[in-house]
Structure 1
Amino acid sequence: MSFLIKGIVAIGLILYPFLVGYSLANGQYIWVSCLLIVFGLVRLFSKGNALLWPLTGFAILCGGLSLLLKDHAWLKLYPVFMSVGAFIIFATTLIKPPSMIERFARLAEPDLPLEGVIWTRKVTFIWCGFFVVNAVIALMTVLLASTKIWVLYNGFISYILMGILLLGEYLLRKRQQKLHQAQK
């Protein structure tokens, strides 16, 4: 998939909660359902990473069920499924290493030492826990909250929490590395 198309799909999925909120406020959610299906199909037919298949399948499923059942609730459920899909992806890498966080860490440090591998595996467990909690909160926003609260959590707060976890892990990993280097 070209860099431009990947960028458009990524931006569209990041803005997804806002698109859903806007479409529901205007009573026109069908175009968002179609857009979600298109994003899923673009991912499906690209030669992307097989690890992303759960996210791809959930996009097509939620968009398709929204259209078939004429029910916008499926659009609001997509962030729940995204967290479930991310959990599946991260948990799979714990079963078939390297762990997801190790893969990310090796982008910056190809020669990650054993201590780093152990550390990143533990952090991958933490991310799995995060995705479970995030899925539960996202589901609660679908079932118990207004669309405005749903958009606020799924389009802003959850991203902030992911950013904090990502930055915190990076800073703590650097600290751990310095401690292990000082002990040598």
Structure 2
Amino acid sequence: MKHLLKGIVITALVFYPFLVGYALSQGHLVWISVLLIVLGMLRLFSKGNTLLWPLTGFAILCGGFSLILQDQQWLKLYPVLMSVGSCVIFATTLLRPPSMIERFARLAEPDLPPEGVAWTRQVTKVWCGFFIINALIALYTVYAASMQIWVLYNGFISYVLMGILLLGEYLLRKRQQGLHQ
């Protein structure tokens, strides 16, 4: 049951921009605000990774401010804060190793060589840069773009860019490992 609930929360958060776009076009500000708060609370009480708590807090904060102030901008700011929070999380792992990308890499390669550790540290820095740029673009879509552009960027384009970065890192890491063998 715990995994099912976790899957529902993750799926709802991935599709969040589409849910917001639809709900706001139908005049359901309260409904989507409450949903964001509930998703945040479910994530908070699921006793997941404490590294993700800032993202959970941002969900509750954005949903709460949107509900209290009756302002849809707070719902649209959630992806911005997700990128900022992700940047903080990744940067924190640079200060307290292993780096985030090293953690991911070790899932597939538990015996990551020292060159791989150094590589993943640099890639974690690249991800931090990505999250900063992504947050700025997402912020632009909140205040200077239509709802359709906001949904397109935050619900599709940003995920495609993350996928490209993730795949690119994996392929380059494999190439890098081949050079050091």
AA matched with 2:32: V
Q: Return the alpha-carbon distance in structure 2 between the equivalents of residues 29 and 11 of structure 1.
A: 20
Residue 33 of structure 2 corresponds to which residue in structure 1?
Answer: 33
The separation in 1 between residues aligned to 2:147 and 2:70, in whole angstroms, is 18
Paired position in structure 2 for 1:138: 138
Q: Which residue of 1 aligns with 2:23?
A: 23
**Aligned mates of 2:94, 2:163 — CA distance in 1:** 22
Taking the aligned partners of 1:6 and 1:127, their CA distance within structure 2 comes to 25
| Runs of 5+ unmatched residues, structure 2 | none
**Residues 113-132 of structure 1: matches in 2 within 5 Å?**
113-132=113-132
Gaps of 5+ in 1: none
Instruction: Give me the whole-angstrom Cα distance separating, in 1, the residues matched to 2:29 and 2:81.
Output: 18
Q: How far apart in 1 are the matches of 2:21 and 2:10?
A: 18
Q: State which drifts further: 20-29 or 111-120.
A: 20-29
Aligned residues: CA RMSD: 0.8
CA distance in 2, matches of 1:154, 1:104: 24
1:69 pairs with 2:101: no
Q: Structure 2: how far apart are the matches of 1:18 and 1:30?
A: 16
Partner residue in 2 for 1:171? 171
SS at match of 1:167: helix
More deviation, 160-169/21-30: 21-30
SS at 2:180's partner residue?
helix
Give the AA of the match of 2:155. Answer: G
Name the amino acid aligned to 2:173: R
Q: Once the two structures are aligned, what percentage of the paired residues are identical? A: 75
Please tell me the residue identity of whatever aligns with 1:52. Answer: L
- The residue correspondences of 1:143-158 to structure 2 (distance < 5 A) are 143-158=143-158
Aligned residue identity for 2:137: I
Deviations 1:70-98 (A, max 9, x none): 11110000000000000010000000000
Equivalent residue number for residue 82 of structure 2: 82
The count of aligned residue pairs is 181
Could you list the structure 1 runs, at least 4 aligned residues long, displaced by more than 3 angstroms after superposition. none
Letter in 2 for 1:75: L
| The 10-residue stretch of structure 1 (102-111 or 41-50) with the greater mean CA deviation from structure 2 | 41-50
Q: TM-score w.r.t. structure 1 length?
A: 0.97
